[in-house]
């Protein structure tokens, strides 16, 4: 499994529903984290840094609305899309009225196909490369579906690790990534890799990007990490 697959956090107190949803998300190629109540959801958000959260409205103790409100007030989690699940459309109206900041709402019983489409729609905005979108930065074009990279129309030869590094950078041009963040995203957090390995692959990526000439678009940020542009 590629380390850069998006992680979906499923928050649902009913075990059967949680499992069906997780099974389908995994079949679609997502990594899945699960929580069965609001408190656990907030812990899992910190532990698993999900790319998107599917959040049931009706949860014991801390409700889905409260979880969403907390996530949307914290800087680190504010931009993580939240899809709220609700049992009835009247509830959805109430949820909307409460302005929790949820990015989308789905009424139960929902079709799994529809929910998957909504998940993908949110990720196209926040993790475009991970859902097969074409990315462009300056004269560099990365096609996540065909795994092809070109610079000024000339195809670039890139190793798989360099490709994942580049797609990470191209999803958020200008963002400074620490070596640890790049390790988590590109190599996966379950694998032990020395942070110096990141420097080695950044070096290879730089070389690959300039194989037909052109400026080095990657910036080393002293004491912090790396950024594109």
Q: Which residues bind Ca ion (CB under 5 A)?
A: 13, 56, 58
Q: Please state, in angstroms and rounded to a whole number, the distance separating the CA atoms of residues 142 and 179.
A: 22
Output the smallest distance, CB 21 to Ca ion, in A.
12
Nearer to Ca ion, 13 or 184 (CB): 13
Output the smallest distance, CB 206 to Ca ion, in A.
49
> 20 to each of 14, 23, 31, 149, how far by Cα in Å?
10, 5, 14, 36
Nearer to Ca ion, 40 or 56 (CB): 56
Output the smallest distance, CB 42 to Ca ion, in A.
16
> Beta strand pairing status for 52-56 and 7-11?
parallel
Nearer to Ca ion, 56 or 91 (CB): 56
Output the smallest distance, CB 62 to Ca ion, in A.
12
Tokens in use for 212?
A: 């037909």
Q: Residue 93 belongs to what H/E stretch?
A: helix 89-97
Nearer to Ca ion, 63 or 77 (CB): 63
Cis omega (within 30 of 0) for bond into 109:
yes
Output the smallest distance, CB 107 to Ca ion, in A.
13
Instruction: Select the residue whose beta carbon is closest to Ca ion and give its number.
Output: 58
> 177 to each of 77, 167, 182, 227, how far by Cα in Å?
17, 13, 6, 6
Nearer to Ca ion, 79 or 89 (CB): 89
Q: Please state, in angstroms and rounded to a whole number, the distance separating the CA atoms of residues 96 and 90.
A: 10
Q: Specify whether the CB–CB gap between 163 and 147 falls below 8 A.
A: yes
């Amino acid at each position: 499994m590629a380390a850069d697959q998006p992680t979906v956090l499923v928050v649902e107190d009913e075990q059967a529903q949680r499992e069906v949803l997780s099974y389908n998300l995994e079949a679609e190629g997502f990594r899945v984290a699960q929580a069965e109540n609001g408190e656990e959801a907030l812990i899992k958000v910190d532990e698993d840094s999900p790319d998107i959260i599917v959040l049931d409205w009706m949860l014991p103790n801390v409700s889905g609305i409260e979880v969403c409100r907390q996530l949307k007030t914290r800087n680190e989690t504010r931009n993580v899309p939240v899809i709220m699940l609700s049992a009835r459309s009247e509830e959805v109206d109430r949820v909307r009225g409460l302005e929790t900041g949820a990015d989308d709402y789905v009424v139960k019983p929902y079709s799994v196909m529809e929910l998957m489409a909504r998940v993908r729609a949110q990720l196209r905005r926040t993790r475009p490369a991970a859902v097969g979108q074409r990315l462009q930065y300056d004269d560099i074009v990365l096609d996540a579906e065909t795994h092809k990279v070109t610079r000024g129309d000339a195809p670039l030869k890139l190793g798989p690790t360099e490709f994942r590094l580049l797609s990470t950078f191209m999803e958020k041009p200008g963002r400074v990534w620490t070596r640890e963040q790049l390790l988590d995203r590109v190599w996966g957090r379950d694998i032990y890799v020395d942070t110096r390995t990141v420097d080695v692959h950044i070096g290879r990526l730089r070389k690959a990007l300039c194989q037909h000439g052109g400026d080095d678009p990657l910036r080393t940020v002293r004491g912090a990490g790396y950024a594109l542009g």
